[in-house]
Amino acid sequence: MLLVGLRGVGKTVLLDRTWQNARNDGMTAFMIEAPEDRSLPGILAPQLRQALLSLSKNERAKSAAQKALSALTGFAQSLKVKYQDIEVGFDFPAEAGLADNGDLEHDLGALLEAAGQAAASVESSIVIFIDELQYVQEDQLAALVTALHRMAQLGLPVTLVGAGLPQLRGQMGNAKSYAERLFDFPEVGPLPPEAARLALSQPAKDEGVDFMPEALEAIVRETQGYPYFLQEWGKHTWEVAKDSPITVDDVEEATQLTVAALDESFFRVRFDRCTPFERKYLRAMAQLGEGPHRSGDIAHELGREVSSLGPHRTSLIKKGMVYSPNHGDTAFTVPLFHEFMKRIMPGDDWRN
């Protein structure tokens, strides 16, 4: 299963809860985050080592787990030259010919097969949780998909639960065409109005505090139902309000504080990662509104040919700033980002 959603919609929270549930059910589950500057082998190997060491403590799984640890040694040693960020302790010597060919697609499949056999020996399973999966490079995604497909064919209990931005579905399909058949892609979006109101009112009610109906509506309107923004508006509104019930005036005061806090953290961190021209590209999108926007319309705002903007758009997609909901369309991955762009680059000077 791969959770797909915009930043701020709570997909990471859902991933974390699913991981906790898997562990509570006795599964061998581990959580990793895929940063932009790390390889898949580099982030996977240490966590898999810990999982296998845990399995090796079970007498029934000991032999199979030790074999899998030998496979991990061969895997890491053979790929360390190519992926120099692999850092993992070696608990058992490598077994010649086991996950040590130096080809990621082949070796990852062999490694997960050995790990799956260890889990199967004690009727357990290994669940790999990866957040920000969109940052894994396409050839490494292809190797992961191939390995998991092989596990399904062999009936071995190894699977993946991942989370990523909307472009992840297309990335998986580009990596391996059968990925869309191998995984489910539930979309995690904003809360419907009723659920958004409840997310604010119920915790407050538990503390003996009520919201005026119009105050709830004001927050839902400002946040558009995105869970992270509901948390931020709820936090600042709670701190501003002096009495119950919480009023629209409280929300209006809190909105100024919330927007300022988001501008300095949530939004600014993303803005700072962009080049000067990428910022102009994003500002042109903001000029057109919330989006999504046609590539030709963005090019018109910038006074450029569509073809000249392709590399900049691709770079922004890789950075997780925008995505393509449909062919030729571009949209922000961060809710309310178009408003931030207008605040941080006001007027028309950005066109120069």
Instruction: Tell me the mean pLDDT in the region 49-74.
Output: 95
The domains located in the chain, with CATH, are 2-188 (3.40.50), 193-270 (1.10.8), 273-351 (1.10.10.10)
Instruction: Tell me the mean pLDDT in the region 16-21.
Output: 89
Contact 332, 291 (CB under 8 A): yes
Tell me: the pLDDT tens digits for 29-43?
A: 999 999 888 999 999
Tell me, rounded to whole angstroms, the distance of Cα 52 from its chain centroid.
Answer: 25
In whole angstroms, give the CA distance from residue 211 to residue 194. 14
Taking CB atoms within 8 Å and a gap of at least 24, the contacts of 74-80 are: 74/98, 74/99, 74/100, 74/107, 75/41, 75/45, 75/99, 75/100, 75/107, 75/108, 75/110, 75/111, 76/41, 76/45, 78/102, 78/107, 79/41, 79/104, 79/107
In whole angstroms, give the CA distance from residue 124 to residue 326. 40
The DSSP letter of residue 106 is H
In whole angstroms, give the CA distance from residue 130 to residue 125. 16
Cis check for the bond before 292: say yes or no (omega within 30 of 0): yes
Average pLDDT score, the chain:
93
pLDDT confidence bin for 8, thresholds 50/70/90 = low
Instruction: Tell me the mean pLDDT in the region 86-98.
Output: 92
Instruction: Tell me the mean pLDDT in the region 297-323.
Output: 94
Checking DSSP bridges between strand 293-294 and strand 329-332, what pairing results, if any?
antiparallel
In whole angstroms, give the CA distance from residue 174 to residue 137. 11
**pTM for the whole thing?**
0.82
Instruction: Tell me the mean pLDDT in the region 332-336.
Output: 92
